[in-house]
A = this chain, B = another copy of it.
């Protein structure tokens, strides 16, 4: 597919964060040319983007996409009550079919709100992979290890199933399989080491929940005598292929350890606020230390959207509030975390995360010709403090139009919405 985007205001997110006005030509999955002169090239699709901002596709570095089925099923509850009374009973009933429906629903929402790449962690992850390929998104899909087992596999089956999952998907264009031990408090040291060995053998990423709540940190320290980051370090899991979700309760020393190891962080401010964990990853210190920081929505059950624009605004504001300083996390920094920094988290910053010639064409067009964007003093400010998912008109992933003029091209929206309702009713009755 070849696409010519005409007359766009382009926020490149290249090293100089250059803003251009011009054309973008896409072919063979790649951004072939960016020009401030009008390009006269024939293309299958020519898009007049004179009212649009062209931005790099947003990268959601932490979610559990099948949980989109549980959006709004239990809010405003204490964490353990919510898990025990709502989430776990439904998860125990989840089938491959339900996971696929939940995934499809989440994919619709991500496409519609400008997310082109996401990091997932769940079970029936083969279904997630199949749906992701069909949808045309880029997925870093985490096969979950958890010592109590999953609805898909008994505990003793997980390691070999995980290996098969890796082998099955590791050469796919859009999918990067990853191993996702759920956390240091739900996985034994042996399980974590097995995860480490598989990841090392296949040169793939690891993804885990880390220090989300004070209670997690307390429990790990009590059991192992060290805090979670040190525990991961002791077991050899703190390295450049490790992406740590949350990190709401890490110390400045731990930031330094994470930096030395080359690991990265997925910050999920909306979920942290909604679950009321009280703590936030020290993002200013992480960025100052040179730790790559991505943003994540977490699952829709604790957010309740997969809209990265929403997460960007919350991220910008919660840290200002937390530090009593409006200069903390300016708009450009937050935009970086959702794009080029996130690509760094995934060791993919040479391939995605900015609009540059030679990179994969993961590009989103945002309609700025609406009252809430005017009078257009500052495009980056508008993206962070004003824009919301519904302002996205076109989503291009790997050079393919997955949404065009607000119409999703790759999935059957009506069929999925209807199936999600029926499925959710059955699961919760």
Q: A78-B327, A390-B390 are in contact. Are A307 and B378 (CB under 8 A)?
A: no
A377 within 8 Å of B (CB atoms): yes
- In-complex Cβ contact of A326 among B77, B113, B270, B325 (8 A): B77
From residue A351, how far is it (CB to closest CB) to chain B in Å? 28
Kindly identify, within residues 336 to 395 of chain A, every residue whose CB is under 8 Å from any CB belonging to chain B.
369-372, 374-378, 381-382, 385-386, 388-391
Shortest beta-carbon distance from A295 to chain B in Å: 16
- Cβ distance A103 to chain B, nearest Cβ, rounded Å: 12
B307 contacts A372, CB within 8 Å? yes
On whether A420 and B113 interact (CB within 8 A), knowing A72-B386, A324-B278, A388-B390, the answer reads: no
- Asked if A159 CB lies within 8 Å of chain B CBs, one says no
CB of A76 within 8 A of chain B?
A: yes
In this complex, how many residues of chain A approach chain B with their Cβ under 8 Å: the count is: 72
Q: Which of A36-44, A171-179, A259-267, A314-322 contacts B (4 or more CB under 8 A)?
A: A314-322
Q: Give the Cβ gap from A276 to chain B, nearest Cβ, in Å.
A: 4
Assess whether B76 is in contact with A330, with CB atoms less than 8 Å apart: yes
Q: State in angstroms the CA–CA spacing of A394 and B313 once bound together.
A: 26
A71-B377, A330-B75 as given contacts; A274 in contact with B385, CB under 8 Å: yes
Evaluate whether A326 and B382 lie within 8 angstroms (CB atoms) in the complex, with A372-B307, A390-B388 already known: no
Closest to A77 in B: B326
**Is A226 engaged at the interface, CB distance under 8 Å to the other chain?**
no
Set of chain B residues within 8 Å of A105, measured between Cβ atoms: 371, 374-375
Binds B, one of A119-127, A231-239, A421-429: A421-429
A267 → B minimal CB distance (Å): 14
Complex interface bits, A395-429 against B, C-beta within 8 A gives 1, otherwise 0: 00000000000000000010011001101110010
Supposing A78-B327, A109-B371, A303-B385 touch, asked if A377 and B73 sit within 8 A by C-beta, the answer is: yes
The answer to whether A92 has its CB under 8 Å from any CB of chain B is no
A57 to chain B, nearest CB (A): 18
Give A384's nearest chain B residue, CB to CB.
B75
Interface SS of chain A: helix, strand, loop or mixed?
helix
A331 at the interface (CB under 8 A from B): yes
A428 and B324 CA atoms in complex are apart in Å by: 28
Q: A116 within 8 Å of B by Cβ?
A: no
Q: Please, which residues of chain B bring their CB within 8 A of the CB of A327?
A: 76-78
Please report which residues of chain A, range 97-133, place their CB below 8 angstroms from some CB of chain B when the two chains form the complex.
Answer: 105, 108-109, 112-113
Interface centre among A272, A323, A375 (most CB of B within 10 A): A375
- Determine the chain B residues whose CB is within 8 A of the CB of A331 once the complex forms: 75-76
Q: Of the candidates B313, B314, B323, B424, which one forms a contact with A276 in the assembled complex, judged by CB atoms under 8 Å apart?
A: B323
From known contacts A76-B327, A77-B326, A324-B276, infer whether A374 and B304 are also in contact, taking CB-CB under 8 Å: no
Find chain B residues with CB under 8 A from A1 CB.
none
Kindly identify, within residues 62 to 100 of chain A, every residue whose CB is under 8 Å from any CB belonging to chain B: 69-73, 75-79, 82
Contact indicator B417/A371 (Cβ below 8 Å) = yes
Residues of B with C-beta under 8 A to A161: none
- B72 to A381, Cβ gap below 8 A? yes
Give every chain B residue within 8 A of A306 (Cβ-Cβ): 372
- Residues of chain B with a CB closer than 8 A to A389's CB: 372, 388
Partner of A321, one of B276, B307, B370: B276
Taking a contact as CB atoms closer than 8 A, the residue among B75, B278, B326 that contacts A385 in the complex is B75
Interface: A11 (CB within 8 A): no
A385 CB contacts on chain B under 8 angstroms: 72, 75, 274, 303-305
B424 touches A375 (CB 8 A): yes
User: Quick check: A369 and B417 within 8 Å, CB to CB?
Assistant: yes
Q: Given A75-B381, A272-B321, list of 5 further CB < 8 A pairs?
A: A113-B372, A306-B372, A310-B388, A314-B317, A371-B417
Would you give 25 A-B contacts (Cβ < 8 Å), ordered by A?
A71-B382, A72-B377, A75-B381, A75-B385, A76-B327, A76-B329, A76-B330, A78-B326, A78-B327, A105-B374, A109-B371, A112-B371, A273-B317, A275-B320, A278-B321, A278-B324, A303-B385, A304-B381, A304-B382, A318-B321, A371-B417, A375-B420, A376-B424, A377-B424, A377-B428
